[in-house]
């Protein structure tokens, strides 16, 4: 009962947040210099042509009027038409969304796997040189941003030892039998492991570039809270029962130490999704982020709006999921 | 025959001695008090026996023998198993000694199942019996509860039940009533004494409270600066303490019969005497 009420409350605040985002993005992209009409017309077009095009796209009205028209469309599921491609924004955005979601989730999985392993190893080896090595590696991983990791990876696995593809999402020569755009997911369902391998070979480097800084943050925080937890009385008591180090770390300390890390992963995951914009561009990966950059360059106002709203929606959903997971894992919050 | 024997145990943090040639023994079924001020090393002895000394502290010499088995000579894995099967700890603070993210039941039964190889069902039955024995109402419900749903007194009862679960021959109680409410302290003390008598367990009772010692212990070891000052029967201790520090400690204990009497601190001269003894010991062992 309380859980349902809490979810409903969160959905309400989510709606308000999205409205706020819509207002801000709508006005800001209309106030900044550069306009889409100028991009579409050949040099030397007359005033009449400009006025006709403006009327066609509704840009002759005042900005608040435009906003009301756009918002009433959105509420009916119509996000407008892209100025550059002349296709419905919603269809365009949804066709690219799966690529970005797959990339982000794979990056998150890699980050949790690497970060978790490093944290557990570091805790097991605490006080030794191995722990020091892990700390140094963490520091290095953290001090370089994801897009620079992208360049480093391209140099390593694209140029010096070319084992992975450096651009695109899938080899153009492949015939794709898919009905959805979740290629990676669907290739597994259809047992098409040839396509799956090709997708992974494309996705590996951008995903790893996104994952490295997050993995370092996870490793650092989780190791820190594990080490603090290892001194607590219930961990000591567990040792007196006859349990060894591995059991004590994974069964007694980890379930409690993981809670702060979980919140952090939630926050950092939204940053990671933000990072896809540049990483997708760097690896010519056909996702939402790459589309966003094109949209901004072309001043494709409806498309920019659609993409920003979608990103905001993803962020809110991620936050909601994190909160719910946190409550599920922490018994002290469950009955609250 | 004594169940736990500690012989000439020395432990250091770097160059600084923490335990100085400590010897003591606890006979089967005996209740021995281990008293001293904070920093006297009384908890360290318990930790050394249970193998939970902080990693900075190193045992440099001496033996800890548990029912004929020399713990120092064993491989860590075997040592842990022997300790888990034969000894148990009643910790100081019940609020921090139960894992907040695990239900109570498994925290009592885990040792029986994982270390001693009982079936889940047997362990469950045993845990319910013990919870009943420590006077916890509705044991089934408590087994499914999380620690934060229970009071401090309840949690200490659960920890006592858990300590007795594997029928250990030795229990080390590390100031088990210090963190509790005064009204609860008495009940818990009585409960520990009852359980100890019923199960015939040897009990090493670490405390700074001579009042508690007089109520439940048969023998007593007095520590200062990690050195044993006196090892005696409880009757002898209260009648005629052998060491000047013991006598001063006894005089410093507040008298409930005469609350108006002012508190007597341990005299400076006595402390200086004890310090001289420790310095002499350190010189002999090359610590200075």
* Mean pLDDT of the A252-275 span: 90
For the domain that residue B80 is a member of, what is the CATH number?
A: 3.40.50.300
pLDDT confidence of residue B288: 56
A127 and B CB contact within 8 Å: yes
Q: CA–CA distance from B200 to each of B68, B168, B196 (Å)?
A: 18, 10, 6
Question: Alpha carbon B48 to chain centroid distance?
Answer: 11
End-to-end, the C-alpha distance of chain B in Å comes to: 37
CB atoms closer than 10 angstroms to residue B130: 22
Q: In this complex, is the C-beta atom of B188 within 8 Å of any C-beta atom belonging to chain A? A: no
Query: B71 at the A interface (CB within 8 A)?
Result: no
Structural domain count, chain B = 1
Strand partners, B16: B13
A47 CB within 8 Å of a chain B CB: no
Q: What is the pLDDT of residues B26-68, one digit of tens each?
A: 999 999 999 988 888 889 999 999 999 988 899 999 999 999 8
Name which of A233, A236, A240 is nearest B88 (Cβ-Cβ): A240
Q: What is the pTM of this model?
A: 0.84
Distance from CA of B257 to the nearest CA of A (A): 37
Which residues of chain B does A242 touch, with a Cβ-Cβ cutoff of 8 Å?
A: 80-81, 83-85, 111, 114-115
Distance in Å, alpha carbon of A36 to nearest chain B alpha carbon: 56
How far is the C-alpha of A187 from the C-alpha of B140, rounded, in Å? 49
Q: How far is A325 from chain B (nearest CA, A)?
A: 14
Render pLDDT for A282-323 as a digit per residue (tens, 0 to 9): 999 999 999 999 999 988 999 999 999 999 999 999 888 888
Using DSSP, how many helices (H) and how many strands (E) does chain A show?
Answer: 15, 0
Count of beta carbons in the 10 Å neighbourhood of residue A73: 15
ipTM of model over 0.85: yes
Which of A233, A247, A332 comes nearest B91 by C-beta?
A233
Residue A329 near residue B102 (C-beta atoms within 8 A) = no
Question: CB A331 to CB B99 under 8 A?
Answer: no
A252 touches chain B (CB under 8 A): yes
Q: How confident is the model at residue B261 (pLDDT cuts 50, 70, 90)?
A: low
Nearest to B50 among A240, A330, A332 (CB): A240
pLDDT of residue A335: 52
pLDDT at residue A336, as a whole number: 41
Q: Is A331's CB within 8 Å of B96's CB? A: no
CB B195 within 8 A of CB B160: yes
What residues make up the domain containing B111? Answer: 2-284
The sheet with strand B219-224 has its strands ordered as: B69-70, B57-66, B2-13, B16-27, B227-233, B219-224, B31-35, B202-207, B170-174, B87-90
Residue A328: per-residue pLDDT: 78
Sign, CA torsion B85/B89/B94/B100:
negative
What are B97-134's pLDDT values in tens digits?
999 999 999 999 999 999 999 999 999 999 999 999 99
CB contact under 8 A, A233 and B93: yes
Fold held by A94-334 = MetI-like fold (1.10.3720)
Window from A221-230, B110-119, B230-239 with minimum mean pLDDT: B230-239
Mutation target to probe the A interface, by most A beta carbons within 10 A, among B44, B55, B95, B99 is B99
What's the mean pLDDT when you consider all of chain A? 90
Reported as a single tens digit per residue, the pLDDT across A152-203 is 999 999 889 988 998 999 998 888 888 899 999 999 999 999 999 999 999 9
Q: Is B128 on the interface with A (CB under 8 A)?
A: no
The answer, for B125 touching chain A at a CB cutoff of 8 Å, is: no
Mean pLDDT of all residues in A26-36? 84
From A255, which residue of chain B is nearest by alpha-carbon distance? B101
Residues of B within 8 A of A255 (CB-CB) are 99, 101-102
Q: Do the Cβ atoms of A233 and B114 come within 8 Å?
A: no
Shortest Cα distance, chain A CAs vs residue B27, angstroms: 21
Across the interface, which of B55, B84, B107 has its CB nearest the CB of A242? B84
Chain B residues touching residue A329 (CB < 8 angstroms): 101
The structural domains of chain A, with segments of one domain joined by +, span: 17-75, 94-334
Most confidently modeled range among A35-49, A55-69, B115-129, B173-187: B115-129
Q: Higher confidence at residue A2 or residue B266?
A: B266
Q: Yes or no: say if B246 and B210 are a contact pair by the CB < 8 Å rule.
A: no
The CA-based angle A239-A245-A251, given to 5 degrees, is: 80
Inspect the interface and report whether the beta carbons of B100 and A256 lie closer than 8 Å: yes
Residue B75 forms contact with A (CB below 8 Å):
no
């Amino acid at each position: 009962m309380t859980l349902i009420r809490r979810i409903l409350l969160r959905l309400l605040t989510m709606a308000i947040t999205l409205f706020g985002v819509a207002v801000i993005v709508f006005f800001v992209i209309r106030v900044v210099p550069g306009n889409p009409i100028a991009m579409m017309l050949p040099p030397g077009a007359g005033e009449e042509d400009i006025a006709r095009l403006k009327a066609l796209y509704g840009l002759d009205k005042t900005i608040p009027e435009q906003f009301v028209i756009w918002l009433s469309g959105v509420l009916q599921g119509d996000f407008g038409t892209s100025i550059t491609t002349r296709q419905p924004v919603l269809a365009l955005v949804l066709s690219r969304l799966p690529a970005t979601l797959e990339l982000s989730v794979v990056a998150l999985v890699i980050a949790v796997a690497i970060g978790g392993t490093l944290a557990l190893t570091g805790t097991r080896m605490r006080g030794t040189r191995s722990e020091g090595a892990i700390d140094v590696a963490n520091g290095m991983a953290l001090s370089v941003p994801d897009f620079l990791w992208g360049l480093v990876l391209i140099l390593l696995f694209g140029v010096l030892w070319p084992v992975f593809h450096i651009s695109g999402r899938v080899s153009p020569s492949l015939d794709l039998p898919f009905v959805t755009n979740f290629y990676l997911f669907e290739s597994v369902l259809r047992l098409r492991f040839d396509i799956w391998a090709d997708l992974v070979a494309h996705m590996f480097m951008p995903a790893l570039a996104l994952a490295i800084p997050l993995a370092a943050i996870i490793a650092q925080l989780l190791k820190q809270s594990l080490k603090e937890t290892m001194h607590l009385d219930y961990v000591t008591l567990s040792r007196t029962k006859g349990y060894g180090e591995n059991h004590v770390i994974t069964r007694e300390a980890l379930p409690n130490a993981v809670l702060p890390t979980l919140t952090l992963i939630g926050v950092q995951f939204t940053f990671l999704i933000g990072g896809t914009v540049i990483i997708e561009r760097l690896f010519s990966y056909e996702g939402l982020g790459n589309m966003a950059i094109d949209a901004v360059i072309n001043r494709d106002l409806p498309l920019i709006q659609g993409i920003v709203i979608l990103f905001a929606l993803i962020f809110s959903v991620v936050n909601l999921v994190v909160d719910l997971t946190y409550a599920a894992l922490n018994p002290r919050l469950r009955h609250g | 025959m004594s169940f736990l024997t500690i012989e000439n145990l020395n432990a250091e943090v770097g160059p600084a001695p923490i335990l100085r040639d400590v010897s003591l023994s606890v006979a089967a079924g005996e209740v021995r008090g281990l008293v001293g001020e904070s920093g006297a090393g009384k908890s360290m002895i318990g930790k050394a026996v249970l193998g939970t000394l902080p990693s900075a502290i190193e045992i440099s010499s001496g033996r800890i023998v548990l029912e004929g088995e020399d713990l120092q000579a064993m491989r860590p894995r075997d040592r842990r198993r022997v300790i888990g099967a034969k000894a148990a700890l009643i910790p100081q603070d019940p609020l921090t000694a139960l894992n907040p993210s695990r239900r109570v039941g498994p925290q009592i039964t885990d040792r029986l199942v994982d270390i001693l190889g009982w079936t889940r069902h047997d362990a469950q039955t045993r845990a319910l019996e013990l919870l009943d024995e420590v006077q916890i109402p509705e044991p089934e419900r408590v087994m499914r509860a999380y620690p934060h749903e229970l009071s401090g007194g309840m949690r200490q009862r659960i920890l006592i039940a858990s300590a007795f679960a594997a029928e250990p021959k030795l229990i080390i109680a590390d100031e088990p009533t210090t963190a509790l409410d005064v009204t609860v302290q008495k009940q818990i003390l009585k409960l520990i004494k009852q359980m100890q008598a019923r199960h015939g367990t040897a009990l090493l009772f670490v405390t700074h409270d001579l009042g508690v010692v007089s109520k439940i212990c048969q023998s007593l070891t007095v520590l200062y600066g990690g050195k044993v000052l006196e090892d005696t029967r409880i009757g002898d201790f209260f009648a005629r303490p052998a060491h000047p520090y013991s006598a001063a400690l006894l005089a410093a204990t507040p008298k409930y019969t005469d609350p108006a009497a002012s508190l007597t601190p341990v005299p400076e001269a006595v402390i200086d005497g004890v310090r001289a003894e420790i310095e002499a010991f350190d010189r002999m062992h090359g610590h200075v």
